[in-house]
Structures are given as C-alpha cells and as structure tokens.
Amino acid sequence: MIGFEHKSYLGVKAASYNVRINPFRRTEVSCQLNSSMTWPVISHEEVLVKSKPAEPVIHERLHLSRRARRNRKSPTQRDAFQETHISPDNFIYPIFIHQGEVDIPIKTMPGRYMLGWRHSLIEEVAKARDVGVNSIKLYPKVPDTLKSPTGEEAFNDNGLVQRTVRLLKDRFPDLVIYTDVNFDAYSPSGHGGIVREDGVVLNDETIHQLRKQAVSQARAGADVVCTSEMLDGRVGAVRAALDAEGFHHVSIMSYSVKYTSSLYGRFRNVQLDKKSYQINPANSREALMEALEDEAEGADILMVKPALPSLDIIRLLKDKTLLPIGACQVSGEYSMIKAAGLLKMIDEEKVMMESLICLRRAGADLILTYFALHAATLLCGENKRNSIN
C-alpha cells in the first residue's frame, strides 16, 4: 500500500488516501481508492510522448471562401479594423462634494471620496482635465440640518452646488458641468420627491420644486441639468421653466431609464423602496416608452441607469432615437470591479476598459463613470505610445 496527501482547491485540511497499484501492463495501470472510484495513471513514458507538439493530420484542407481570422492575424490589422473606439471625450466624471475641507472616504467605494468643495475639488478637476476629461457631474452631501420635507435648500442660490458651480466656472470657464435635479439629497426621507404622510411620493408637487432647482443651477452656470428621478412630466416642466428664465442654452439630460436596481448605494440609504416611480428591471417596452416621452418633452440627452445590466436598452434607444445616449455606470458596478481587482480575481484595468468599450459598442455616446480619471489616464498613455511609434 502506498499513501499520498490530497489537497482540495479551497485549501481545506488535506485528506489521506491509500492507493493500491494493480500489477497490470503499463497500458492497463489504474489507481484504485478505497472508494469505488478508479483513476487512470499515466506512466512517465506516456507523459514524454504526449508533451511533443501535435502534428497536424489533414488529408484535405477546408475550402473556405472567407477566413475571418485573416483580418485578426497582426496587431496593426486588428487596430485598423476595430469598430468601436473610446476617448476621454466620452466620459463624465462624477464627483461627490461636501461643505467641509477634509476629504471623506466612501467605505463602499474603494478609492472614492467626498471632496472638500474648494481645494480638493479644484485639484481633482485639474487632474481630470490634464487627461482630457472636461465634463463632470456634481453630487452634494447636504448636512442633515439643511434637509426638509419640501427641499428648499435645493434651490438656494447660495447652496453647496450653486457655490461649487460658480467656483469651477471661475477657475475653468470651458468646463462642462452637469448638475443633479433631484430631491433625494435634500430630503430627510432620501426619496426623490415630497413624501405624503401615507408614504406616497407626490409627483406634481415635487416637480414644482424641481423647476426651481433647475433654474437655480442654471443661474449659477450649470451647462446641463439632469432630471434624474422618474417623475411624470418632469422634463417638459423643467424645459419650460428654463426657457421662461432665458436659459434656452442650458441642456437637459434626462435619466429616461432608471431601473430600481440593487447596484445603487454609495453613502445613501439603499433600503428605500422606489418602485412606485423607478422602472422594473424586467421591463424594456416601458423603458422605451419613458425615453420617447422625455424626447417629446424636450430632453437633449437620454441617460440609462445602471449601465452594464442595460446594454440591450442602450442599443434599443440608440436604434429608436437620434438623441445622444448616456450610460451611468453606478457605484455597485464600480465597486464590484474594484473589489475583484483588489482580491486578484481579475485584472482590474483590463476589466474596467472592457466594461467601458462594451458600453460604447452598445451605443452609449456618454459614459458617466467613477473610472473616468483612471481610464482616461490609460488612454492618454496609449496615445503617447502610439504617437512615438
């Protein structure tokens, strides 16, 4: 009897087995465990034979009129025939801000911070511009003391977002700034609207406040206001309010397809039930209906959220409308890639770039992604190497 140690793939405690080698010819050798399993044993001579390169055995080659692999045989050809491309111009960089000066790490998002609204913010935007990312979106963390059921702080002309927009426009006049027309950051409930006593989110009453918020952001200098909650009629109402105040040049990016996804999170309450106004992830026709309605009301850009789980919807909208399509790669998508990368389960940079190019392939013209700075840095390095060669 011969003993050996067997280790499982998970590294649990090794188990000992007794093996009996049957005295058969070499071609009939087998290992028999005490169980009923029988495993073949390959002799040393057979290993040597099998390690030799396989010689092709072809009696007659296939008569193929087209061999697609011919166009993939060299790096130069593969690059020349690449159908989808991505550049820093396609990115919108989401930035979290708060009223203090100390950067606060976001625990569920490795490498992401809520930035102090002045110095750290300026530095981060400058870094983004250095690698070609000239579009940002601001997400405020409003102190609880400033929150209210009707969200008046959202349209305070001296509020955090408004002050930040003015600061950035003064420093970087050509920076494209997207702002969030949404109630959740300003309401103690965390909902995207005014909540009635029985828990119902009021549609028209909330939109009355969102109109004021959009105008206040435009007055501060926002280039694009983003109607990011799924409330009926919000795009038309905001467009009318902007035009009435003379902000015909300010664009609207509507979150036309915002699913009730479990991938949202960050520092907000992810346990809220928003199913009464966000879309069921199982529905695609409803998504198309919402998008076409927003287009009819005056939206300039249609956004889909989340991004990777919605590749089919991005393509659907691309085929059904002539408006630019955006994809919002949400916090959960970012954190999954980061976590798997930190655990060495994937190559983080390769998966990051693959996820972004897939969004472009599906039809996204703009990608709001927390990877914007990292991805743009890699793209810039790639361009420099290509120019040298």
User: How far apart, in whole angstroms, are the C-alpha atoms of residue 152 and residue 158?
Assistant: 12
258 belongs to the catalytic site: yes
Burial (Cβ within 10 Å: 0-12, 13-18, ≥19) of residue 262: exposed
| Number of Cβ atoms within 10 Å of the Cβ of 91 | 27
Catalytic residue among 137, 274, 305, 338: 305
CA geometry: angle at 308 spanning 306 and 314, to 5°? Answer: 80
User: How far apart, in whole angstroms, are the C-alpha atoms of residue 57 and residue 54?
Assistant: 9
**Residues making up the chain, counted from first to last:** 389
For residue 201, list its beta bridge partners: 195
In this structure, the dihedral spanned by the alpha carbons of residues 336, 95, 215 and 176, taken in order and rounded to 10 degrees, is -110
Give the SS3 label for residue 203. helix
Catalytic residue among 258, 274, 318, 338: 258
Q: Which residues are within 8 A (CB) of 184 and not within 5 positions of it... i.e. 6 or more apart?
A: 190, 191, 192, 229, 268
Give the SS3 label for residue 112. coil
Report whether 360 contacts 90 (CB < 8 A).
yes
User: How far apart, in whole angstroms, are the C-alpha atoms of residue 352 and residue 338?
Assistant: 9
User: How far apart, in whole angstroms, are the C-alpha atoms of residue 355 and residue 51?
Assistant: 38
Q: Tell me 253's DSSP state.
A: E
50 belongs to the catalytic site: no
Catalytically active residues, by annotation: 258, 305
